[in-house]
């Protein structure tokens, strides 16, 4: 079930520079979970705790002139969503909304945490340009599609306790639907699920192709400088019981 996060799953890319684009300082996360169809189902209800949750997308440069570009870390800490968790995990449901304008491009601490592939310094101008390209009509088209939406719940893999995990932790594979820039795709997401009396959390890492999500990897100079099709997505999603 919880396979969402991911994903969120979703879903981004970039590269390049451009004119700086001012970011909105007010969160665009509107938590309307009580009105979601999922919330009418039986089971325990949880609301995503944005203060404890994080989505991180790693994007890599490619092409003959890749040395002129940067690898990028996209960070999101303003996630919205809810979960209905049942004893039979396959009957659970969730939804997640990711406002694309709230991605932070190349946070210095996040780049350090991701190691040598992200050691290069990225100027403020390059960060602004990357965000401009990412949100533009050619990629995420943020004006028409301001949010990525992930929902689902069907477990397609066996449940087992992860190595070194606690008795209440389980490794799952769930199928989720990801809607990004007007295109919906179903993908499988592996995750570790931890359930406590008033809290549920899911974490994991997956690699997904932008083209699978209906996106065209960013490219400049007839492909001399481009973004790799494959992106890595890391997530930690925490829900608090309502």
- Under a CB-based contact definition with an 8 Å cutoff, are residues 196 and 241 in contact? no
**Confidence tier at 31 by pLDDT (50, 70, 90):** low
Top pLDDT among 73 and 156 is at 73
**Confidence tier at 33 by pLDDT (50, 70, 90):** low
SS3 195: strand
111-129 core/surface letters (b: 16 or more CB in 10 A; e: else): beebeeebeeebeeebbbb
Q: Is the pLDDT of residue 25 over 90?
A: no
- Find the mean pLDDT for residues 209-222: 82
Which pTM value belongs to this model? Answer: 0.79
- Under a CB-based contact definition with an 8 Å cutoff, are residues 14 and 133 in contact? yes
Question: Rounded to whole angstroms, how far apart are CA atoms 56 and 33?
Answer: 23
Least confident of 43-52, 119-128, 145-154, 179-188: 145-154
φ, ψ (nearest 5 deg) of residue 190: -80, 140
Class of domain 35-241: mainly beta
Maximum mean pLDDT: which of 79-83, 159-163, 217-221: 79-83
Question: Rounded to whole angstroms, how far apart are CA atoms 226 and 24?
Answer: 28
Task: Output the pLDDT for position 225.
Answer: 73
């Amino acid at each position: 079930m919880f396979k969402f996060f991911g994903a969120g799953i979703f879903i981004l890319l970039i590269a390049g520079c451009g004119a700086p684009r001012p970011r909105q300082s007010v969160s665009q996360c509107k938590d309307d979970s009580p009105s979601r169809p999922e919330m009418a189902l039986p089971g325990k209800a949880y609301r995503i705790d944005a203060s404890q949750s994080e989505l991180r997308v790693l994007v890599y440069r490619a092409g003959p002139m890749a040395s002129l570009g940067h690898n990028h870390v996209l960070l999101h800490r303003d996630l919205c969503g809810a979960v209905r968790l049942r004893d039979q995990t396959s009957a659970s449901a969730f939804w997640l909304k990711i406002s694309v304008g709230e991605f932070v491009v190349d946070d210095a601490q996040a780049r350090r945490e991701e190691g040598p592939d992200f050691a290069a310094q990225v100027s403020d101008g390059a960060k602004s340009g990357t965000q401009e390209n990412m949100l533009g009509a050619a990629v995420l088209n943020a004006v028409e599609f301001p949010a990525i939406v992930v929902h689902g719940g069907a477990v397609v893999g066996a449940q087992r306790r992860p190595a070194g995990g606690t008795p209440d932790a389980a490794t799952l594979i769930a199928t989720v639907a990801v809607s990004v820039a007007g295109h919906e795709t179903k993908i499988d997401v592996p995750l570790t699920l931890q359930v406590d009396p008033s809290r549920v959390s899911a974490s994991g890492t997956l690699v997904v192709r932008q083209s699978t999500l209906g996106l065209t990897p960013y490219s400049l100079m007839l492909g001399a400088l481009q973004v790799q099709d494959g992106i890595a997505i890391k997530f930690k999603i925490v829900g608090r019981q309502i």
